[in-house]
Amino acid sequence: MGRLEVLKTYKIYIGGAFPRTESGRTYPLHGKKGDLLANICLSSRKDVRNAVVAARKAFGGWSEKTAFNRGQILYRIAEMMEGRKAQLMEELVAMGFTKVAAEKEVLLSIDRCIYYAGWCDKYQAVVSSVNPVASAHFNFTVAEPTGVVAIIADEKTGLLGLVSLLLPILAGGNTAVVLASQSLAMSSITLAEIIHSSDVPGGVVNILTGDLNELAETFSTHMDINALALSRSTDLKKKIAENCTVNVKRFFSYDKNWADASAQGLHFISDFQEYKTTWHPIEKIGGAGGGY
Amino acid sequence: MKTMVPNLKNIINHSPSIDKVGVEERCARFQSRSIKNESKWEGLKMVLSMIDLTTLEGKDTPGKVKQMCYKAHHLNDNMSDLPNVAAVCVYPSMVKLAKKELIGTNIKVASVSTAFPSGQAPLSVKLSDTKFAVDNGADEIDMVISRGEFLSGDYNFVHDEIATIKEACGHARLKVILETGELSTLDNVRLASDIAILAGADFIKTSTGKISPAATMPVTYTMLQAIRDHYVATGKMIGMKPAGGISNSKLALHYLVMVKETVGDEWLNNTYFRFGASSLANDVLMQIQKAKTGIYSSADYFSID
């Protein structure tokens, strides 16, 4: 007797749980030959709101973790992805990638996790500074995470674009609300499962699937989102940037080939940092006088 | 409930037992109502007008109470036509100050008393605690019942204590806190409600906020049933105040639905229904802001309480 295959329900990821969209809507995701791969959640404004609440709640705990511990956790994501390589590739192939392209994307994504895991306890030392001032002050600048960051992930890569933005944002101590690629949504939900089993606290990463045209307004105007990273070419770009001024969100647009070597680097972390400068009164140090 | 003379003996013997599963199912249904935008907007304003803005901490300072009193009548100066909250709720030592801060407003000052939150003190202490608050100008007294006595079956003691405190309240309205988190069963909640009502409570209140679980829908529903049955039997309206744990607007609206469908429209005002809460007000304000501007707000733009 033939066995009936058990199919996975692709749900969204909010606050460390996998709910269906609050709206109850779905859209069909088709393979290359028009075969139905899955019904994917078509998230609504309320899902965005719930995700932001979860991300805000998780922010304190995540940003206060030691840099070293954050690095360990991000490394753990890479470990988990390595173990599920086959599944990630299979899904990309089902969604239309060639085998070679799928393998390249998955391996590069894993490497990118390792890359940013390494940066966690190092970027502070690079971007912070002790500043020379003309008075008896010890003057120093440190970087702090921006807060809750919205990521409108790349539409053309199922995994790589998302990982390439999510990881530096997490490395810097931010929490994230992600709108995944609409046409390649399966990989992003599998990634959510991987993150869920990687000691990343619930709420630090929230992944939604859906239509940017419907959600752009909510993402860009939400007063509790502190920065927005757009990695998609869309007619809405100008509108999104304008809306971000409502609460002076930081807005970054990355139109990139994420497979490129230049698509990783320190500035993806430092874009989502705020700089705090402290003037600490001191007596003269070592005869250096006011010029210290 | 059968018609009978409401005396303590009858109540102890005939206070109905509560079907917990049924109550939970009913409460789940209150939460599945679809509330349309216009009703939601009115409902949220109603919620604001029913809040007892509360600070009951050992670390309370005059400054904190002053700030809270200011907030009570300046919920958000950027939004017009917002109601004031119903009352502020403080410890007896802060009543005088709160009263002074609220001169010229219609906001009441409620004071907890009777050795809040444990209630573990002799009657004489509880009485002087209450009198102190009343003498300082408290409009409402929130007393706690003696849960130890109640659980060991000394219902007469509980009843008489409430009646004595009620007498000491004078014109101040008396809210009786059952501390349902310590009463274990809904049967006990119902019995305690009946006793408190018989002893002269103007309001019955779920919790001190110091014990978890605090206010829950099943508990509030059970208490509302006691209020409804008392109303049917005697025609007298008793108020209800769930307190603790109601911190978001959606849940508060579900409570209003429950009030409407259990006791009726007459209870939908701050004379007969209150929310004891500290963080609910900000959440409601955020939702009202959302309704007005269409964009989701952030806690960064509201007062820290």
> For residue B198, which of B158, B142, B147 has the smallest C-alpha distance?
B158
Contact A292, A130 (CB under 8 A): no
Chain B residue numbers with beta carbons less than 8 Å from the beta carbon of A49 are 296
Instruction: Say yes or no: B70 contacts chain A, CB-CB below 8 A.
Output: no
ipTM value of the model?
A: 0.80
Whether omega for the bond prior to residue A168 falls within 30 degrees of 0, making it cis, is: no
What does the mean pLDDT of chain B come to?
A: 93
CA pair distance B232, A42, nearest whole angstrom: 49
CA pair distance A149, A175, nearest whole angstrom: 6
Chain A residue numbers with beta carbons less than 8 Å from the beta carbon of B299 are 56, 224
Q: Is residue B297 part of a domain?
A: no
Count structural domains, chain B. Answer: 1
Q: Percentage of chain B with pLDDT > 90?
A: 83
Mean pLDDT (whole number) for B291-300: 89
Instruction: Say yes or no: A56 contacts chain B, CB-CB below 8 A.
Output: yes
Q: Is residue B82 part of a domain?
A: yes
Of B295, B299, B300, the CB nearest to A246: B295
**Is residue B234 pLDDT above 50, yes or no?**
yes
Angstrom distances, CA of residue A247 to CA of A40, A162, B160, B214? 32, 25, 58, 36
CA pair distance B259, B224, nearest whole angstrom: 7
pLDDT score, position B153: 94
Chain B residue numbers with beta carbons less than 8 Å from the beta carbon of A224 are 296-300
B20 among known catalytic residues: no
> Crossing angle of helices B249-262/B280-293, nearest 10°?
100
Task: Label residue B79 by pLDDT band (50, 70, 90).
Answer: confident
User: pLDDT tens per residue, chain A (292 residues)?
Assistant: 789 988 899 999 999 999 999 999 999 999 988 899 999 999 999 999 999 999 999 999 999 999 999 999 999 999 999 999 999 999 999 999 999 999 999 999 999 999 999 999 999 999 999 999 998 889 999 999 999 999 999 999 999 999 999 999 999 999 999 999 999 999 999 999 999 999 999 999 999 999 999 999 999 999 999 999 999 999 999 999 999 999 999 999 998 899 999 999 999 999 999 999 999 998 765 555 545 4
* Chain A residue closest in CA terms to B287: A49
Q: Does B296 sit within 8 Å of A222, measured CB to CB?
A: yes
Shortest distance between the Cα of A78 and any Cα of chain B, in A, equals 33
Q: Which tokens hold the place of B44?
A: 């949220």
Chain B residue numbers with beta carbons less than 8 Å from the beta carbon of A22 are none
Task: Spell out the SS3 assignment of chain A.
Answer: CCCCCCCCCECCEECCECCCCCCCCEEEEECCCCCEEEEEECCCHHHHHHHHHHHHHHHHHHHHCCHHHHHHHHHHHHHHHHHCHHHHHHHHHHCCCCHHHHHHHHHHHHHHHHHHHHHCCCHHHHHCEEECCCCCEEEEEEEEECCEEEEECCCCCCCHHHHHHHHHHHHCCCEEEEECCCCCHHHHHHHHHHHHCCCCCCCCEEEECCCHHHHHHHHHHCCCCCEEEECCCCCCHHHHHHHHHHHCCEEEECCCCCCCHHHCCHHHHHCCEEEEEEEEECCCCCCCHHHC
B60 among known catalytic residues: no
Instruction: Say yes or no: B295 contacts chain A, CB-CB below 8 A.
Output: yes
pLDDT digits (tens, 9 = 90+) for B102-113: 999 999 999 999
Angstrom distances, CA of residue A283 to CA of A130, A140, A279, B7, B157? 16, 16, 13, 80, 70
**Is residue B9 pLDDT above 50, yes or no?**
yes
Q: Is residue B287 part of a domain?
A: yes
Q: Is residue B300 part of a domain?
A: no
Burial B46-67 (b: 16+ CB within 10 A, else e): bbbbbbbbbbbeeeeeeeebeb
Q: Does A52 sit within 8 Å of B296, measured CB to CB?
A: yes
Residue B233 is part of which domain span? Answer: 8-292
> Crossing angle of helices B37-49/B249-262, nearest 10°?
90
What is the C-alpha radius of gyration for chain B, rounded to an integer number of angstroms? Answer: 19
CATH number at residue B288: 3.20.20.70
Q: Does A246 sit within 8 Å of B296, measured CB to CB?
A: no
> For residue A169, which of A200, A142, A130 has the smallest C-alpha distance?
A200
B2 among known catalytic residues: no
Instruction: Say yes or no: B301 contacts chain A, CB-CB below 8 A.
Output: yes
The label of the residue with tokens 């009343």 reads B134
Question: Which residues are CB-contacts of A181 (< 8 A; sequence separation ≥ 6)?
Answer: A153, A154, A155, A156, A157, A158, A161, A162, A187, A188
Q: Is residue B2 part of a domain?
A: no
Domains of chain A: 26-274 (3.40.605.10)
* Chain B residue closest in CA terms to A46: B296
Instruction: Say yes or no: B34 contacts chain A, CB-CB below 8 A.
Output: no
Mean pLDDT (whole number) for B152-159: 95
Q: Is B173 helix (H, G, I), strand (E, B) or coil?
A: strand
Task: Label residue B1 by pLDDT band (50, 70, 90).
Answer: very low
CA dihedral sign, ordered A49, A53, A54, A59: positive
pLDDT score, position A292: 44
Contact B137, B109 (CB under 8 A): yes
Mean pLDDT (whole number) for B158-168: 96
CA pair distance A255, A72, nearest whole angstrom: 30
Shortest distance between the Cα of B262 and any Cα of chain A, in A, equals 28
> For residue B53, which of B86, B83, B80 has the smallest C-alpha distance?
B86
DSSP code per residue over B85-152:
PSEEEE-GGGHHHHHHHTTTSS-EEEEE-SSTTT--S-HHHHHHHHHHHHHTT-SEEEEE--HHHHHT
Q: How do beta strands A148-152 and A227-230 pair?
A: parallel
Mean pLDDT (whole number) for B150-176: 96
